[in-house]
A = this chain, B = another copy of it.
Amino acid sequence: MHCFLHNHPGDMMEKEDASSPLSRRDLLRMIGVTAGSAAMYQAMDSLGLAAESPYKGPIDLQGAPQGASVLVLGAGMAGMTAAYELRNAGYQVQVLEYNARAGGRNWSLRGGDTYTELGGATQHCEFDKGLYINPGPWRIPYHHQGMLSYAKRLGVPMEPFFQVNYNAYLHSSHAFGGKPQRYREIKADYQGHVAELLSKVTRQNSLDAAVSKEDQEKLLESLKEWGALDKNYSYVSSDAGSDRRGFQKDPGGGLTARPIPSQPTALKDLLDSKLWMGIPTGDTYDMQTALFQPVGGMGRVGEAFGRELGTLIRYNAKVKAIHQDDHGVTVSYEDTTTPGTTLTAKADWCVCTIPLPILAQIPMNVAPALSSAISAVPYASAIKAGLQFKRRFWEEDEHIYGGITYTDLPITNIGYPNTGFFSGGKGVLLGAYIWGLNAMEFTAMTPAERVQKVVEYGSQIHPQYKQEFDNGVAVAWHRSPFTLGCFGMWSTAARAKHYDDLCALDGRIVLAGEHASFLGGWQEGAVTSSLDAIGRLHQRAVAQGAKS
C-alpha cells in the first residue's frame, strides 16, 4: 500500500504546483479521462485528435489474384476486418491469434470468465448473469461508421451510451469539502458566471473595438438567454438559474407545489475547484451524442466476428518470428496449449496487427525505418475495474441513470451502467479508469488489492459502496499478455517522424491497428487503418499478380 499512498494526488500536487489544488499532472489526467484518449492527445499538443472516421462504405477489392493468400496476425478488430474483407474478396486467409478468444481489446468480462495476467494472477469473474464490464473500449460515437457498419453486418444490436449525465457528479477531493457536485450545478454556474462577466464588460463598452454596437445588442440578448441571467444581466438565485442547475425545492403538483430556487456557486469557488474541467466532457467530437454500446457488452462485436470467421482463426498461436522473402511470408508460432512446439504458417502476404510493444520483441525482416517506428510508440498503462454491487443504489438513492462521474481521485471515473435501468437487483459499474503514474502503481498490486483500493476511493463519493459491494475485477493493461498496454500514444514528434513508415507496405507485410491511425485508442482507428492497409496490399497483389 505504501507505494500507492505515495502517489496520492495531494503528494503529486506538492511535487509539482503547491499553489494549486490540482497539479498540472492531475489536470492532464482529468482532461484525458474526461474526454478519453482524444483530449489527452490534445493536451500533449499532438495531431492525434479523435474525430470522424473516413469510412466510406464497404471496401471494393475486386480482382484478387487467383489463389493469392494472406496471413493475418491478430484477431482483434483490425485483424478480423482484414480477414473478413480479404476472404470475401477471394483471398486464402488464415488468422493467428495468441489469445484463446476473438476480439482482442474488444472484450467483455462476464460471470464465469477467468483472466490470467502476466505474472500469473488469475481473476475469476463472479458477476451475476447478464452483468459485465468492458475492460477495453466501451463506447462508439455516431461517426465511427466503420465500427457501426461491421456491428450491423454481424447482427450486433446497439443501445445508447450516456457520456454526460447532468445528475452525475464532478468531484474534487480538494474542493467543496470533498463533497461531490452535480454536473448540472457546475455547468450552469460556469455558464452563468461567464455570461454575466461578458455582459458586464459589453455594457461598459469594453468590446467596442472588437464587436459592432449592433452585434453587442445581439450578444447581450444571447448571453441573457444562454447564461440564464436575470433582467439586469446578473447570474443570481432565480427560477431561470434553477431551471438549469436544479432547485432547492422542486416544483410539483397540488398545494405543496411551489418551487424554491437554489443558490449558485460563487465564481471563485468554481475556479478554485477546477471542476470546470469536466464541463466539456460531452462536447468533444468523440464524446458527443449520439454514442452507442453493443447490447450485452462491447465484446459482442468481437465474438460475432470470431463466429463469422470460424476456423479461419487459429487460437492460442503465439507468434515467434516473421520472415519475408521474394516468394512470401513465413511466420513461426507456438501453440500455447502445447508449450515448446514451433509451427509455421506461410502466405503470399501478411497483415500484421500485433500491438507494438509485443511486435517490437518479435524478429521480423523489415526496413530499419519500420523497425524504428515500431519501437517509437509507448502504450498507455490504463486500468479498469468492474465492481458488482448488491443493488443499484446510484439509481435508487441518487437518481443517476447511466453516464459518468469524474473525480480527481486515482480512480478518475465512475461509469454507471447504461442498460437495465430501473431493473432493480444487482448492478455492475465501472469503478475506476486509472491513468499514468497511478496506473503503474495499481498495476503493481494484486488484482484483489486493486479492487479493494477502488472500493475505498469510490466510497468517498458513494458512501453506499462499503455496505453494498459484492465482488469485482481489475484489468491492468500493462499486464495483459496480449497487448502489454492499453493503446499507442503518439507524440507529435514521433508521429511526424515515424507514422508514415509504420503504415507503409514493407515488401509483403503491412501493419494495421489503432496504432496505425489518427484515432488512437479507438476501435474505429483499427477498422479504418485495416481497410486502408488491405486496400494498398490488394493493389500491390493485383499488380504483382498481373506481372507473374
In the complex, chain B residues whose CB is within 8 Å of the CB of A285: 184, 242-247
Cβ contacts A237-273/B at 8 Å (1 or 0 each) = 0011011111101111111111100000001100110
Nearest CB on B from A121, distance (A): 34
- A166, A245, A418, A500 — most chain B CB neighbours (10 Å): A166
Q: Any chain B CB within 8 A of the CB of A380?
A: no
Of residues 305 to 351 in A, which have CB atoms within 8 Å of B's CB atoms? none
Of residues 470 to 526 in A, which have CB atoms within 8 Å of B's CB atoms? 500, 503-504, 512, 514, 516-519, 524-526
In the complex, chain B residues whose CB is within 8 Å of the CB of A198: 194, 197-198, 201
In the complex, chain B residues whose CB is within 8 Å of the CB of A187: 283
In the complex, chain B residues whose CB is within 8 Å of the CB of A276: 222, 225-226
Nearest CB on B from A424, distance (A): 8
Given contacts A184-B288, A247-B285, contact A218 B271 (CB under 8 A): yes
- A288 and B54: CB pair below 8 A? no
- B277 and A225: CB pair below 8 A? yes
- Contact residue among B247, B280, B421, B500 (Cβ-Cβ distance under 8 Å from A52): B247
- A151, A167, A195 — most chain B CB neighbours (10 Å): A167
The oligomer's copy count stands at 2
- A290 and B167: CB pair below 8 A? yes
A461 to B532, CA, bound (A): 34
Q: Any chain B CB within 8 A of the CB of A373?
A: no
Of residues 43 to 74 in A, which have CB atoms within 8 Å of B's CB atoms? 47-55
A237 to B439, CA, bound (A): 35
- Contact residue among B42, B54, B142, B399 (Cβ-Cβ distance under 8 Å from A142): B399
In the complex, chain B residues whose CB is within 8 Å of the CB of A267: 211, 215, 219
- Contact residue among B255, B283, B290, B504 (Cβ-Cβ distance under 8 Å from A255): B504
- Contact residue among B38, B162, B280, B500 (Cβ-Cβ distance under 8 Å from A226): B280
Q: Which residue of B lies closest to A240 (CB)?
A: B42
In the complex, chain B residues whose CB is within 8 Å of the CB of A531: 253-254
- A51 and B194: CB pair below 8 A? no
- A201 and B207: CB pair below 8 A? yes
Of residues 9 to 37 in A, which have CB atoms within 8 Å of B's CB atoms? 31
- A252 and B528: CB pair below 8 A? yes
Given contacts A197-B210, A267-B215, A271-B222, contact A422 B164 (CB under 8 A): no
Q: Any chain B CB within 8 A of the CB of A530?
A: yes
- A42 and B243: CB pair below 8 A? yes
Q: Any chain B CB within 8 A of the CB of A536?
A: yes
- A152, A252, A418 — most chain B CB neighbours (10 Å): A252
Q: Which residue of B lies closest to A165 (CB)?
A: B289
In the complex, chain B residues whose CB is within 8 Å of the CB of A527: 253
Q: Which residue of B lies closest to A261 (CB)?
A: B49
Q: Which residue of B lies closest to A511 (CB)?
A: B254
Of residues 164 to 209 in A, which have CB atoms within 8 Å of B's CB atoms? 164-167, 184, 187-188, 190-191, 194-195, 197-198, 200-201, 204, 206-207
- New A-B pairs, 16, CB < 8 Å, besides A226-B276, A254-B529, A289-B403: A42-B243, A160-B418, A167-B288, A167-B289, A184-B283, A197-B207, A201-B201, A201-B206, A215-B268, A243-B285, A253-B516, A253-B517, A253-B530, A253-B533, A254-B532, A259-B518
- 16 A-B pairs (CB sep. < 8 Å): A39-B243, A49-B240, A51-B246, A54-B249, A54-B251, A54-B257, A142-B401, A143-B167, A143-B399, A160-B421, A166-B288, A226-B276, A251-B517, A254-B533, A255-B503, A255-B504
Across the A-B interface, the 6 shortest Cβ-Cβ residue pairs: A254-B532, A253-B529, A52-B250, A253-B517, A251-B518, A54-B252
